[in-house]
Amino acid sequence: MDLKETKLSSEPIYQGSFVTINRDKVRLPNGNESQRIVIRHPGAACVLAVTEEGKAVLVRQWRYAADAATLELPAGKLDAGEDPAVCALRELAEETPYRAERVEKLAEFYTAPGFCDEKMYLYLAEGITPTSTRQPDQDEFVETVLLSRQAVQEAIAANQIQDGKTLVGLQYWLLNSK
């Protein structure tokens, strides 16, 4: 079965500093026409970093849209033309007191493909050291939180971690580490 929808036209509804919202007219597989509201996003990278003591490096920050402080993997949007691996390294150093020598890509996935084209790149940090000078963006207020495997399992079970990228990264860690 052909599932492809073909864009016929696109009307910008909103253009922000890094996202745009469009109302697209599409042709459906059955030949009918419909509309789609789409948020266009430059993409983002997140990083799973684990200390020598076996603790996952997370950040707690206020998320206005969720009206809550969330526990998340360090992450941030890609700058124009930026390699996602470079973004992951940068975000770890900006948001936490840790740096990584390198990162290895674990996965890439869409965060909300029903209405947004944001692609998230998940990396595993390697060779991390507590040597960052932490310089969050001016509008970013973050607190570093270190959790053991047991504490991560308990936080997930208690619904204290609700961020999708973080759940993906932490489940990888729980399933693939000793």
- The mean pLDDT of the chain is 94
Residue partners of 175: CB distance under 8 A and separation at least 6: none
Residue of 108, 140, 143, 154 marked active site = 140
CA angle 65/88/173 to nearest 5° reads 85
Rg (CA), the chain: 18
User: Higher confidence at residue 91 or residue 140?
Assistant: 91
For position 131, what pLDDT does the model report? 83
132: nearest Cα among 144, 149, 120: 144
For position 139, what pLDDT does the model report? 73
Residue type, 54: G
Angstrom distance (rounded) from CA 170 to CA 165 = 9
42: nearest Cα among 104, 141, 124, 111: 111
Q: Is the pLDDT of residue 142 over 80?
A: yes
Angstrom distance (rounded) from CA 76 to CA 96 = 13
Q: Is the pLDDT of residue 137 over 80?
A: no
Angstrom distance (rounded) from CA 73 to CA 46 = 6
Name the band, by pLDDT with cuts 50, 70 and 90, for residue 178: low
pLDDT, average across residues 101-109: 97
44-48 and 75-77 strand pairing = antiparallel
pLDDT digits (tens, 9 = 90+) for 146-173: 999 999 999 999 999 999 999 999 999 9
Secondary structure (3-state) at 166: helix
User: Higher confidence at residue 67 or residue 134?
Assistant: 67
User: Higher confidence at residue 134 or residue 156?
Assistant: 156
pLDDT, average across residues 71-100: 96
Angstrom distance (rounded) from CA 17 to CA 71 = 25
Q: Is the pLDDT of residue 63 over 70?
A: yes
Give Cα 134 to chain centroid, integer Å. Answer: 19
pLDDT, average across residues 53-64: 96
| Residue 140 appears among annotated catalytic residues | yes
Angstrom distance (rounded) from CA 134 to CA 115 = 33
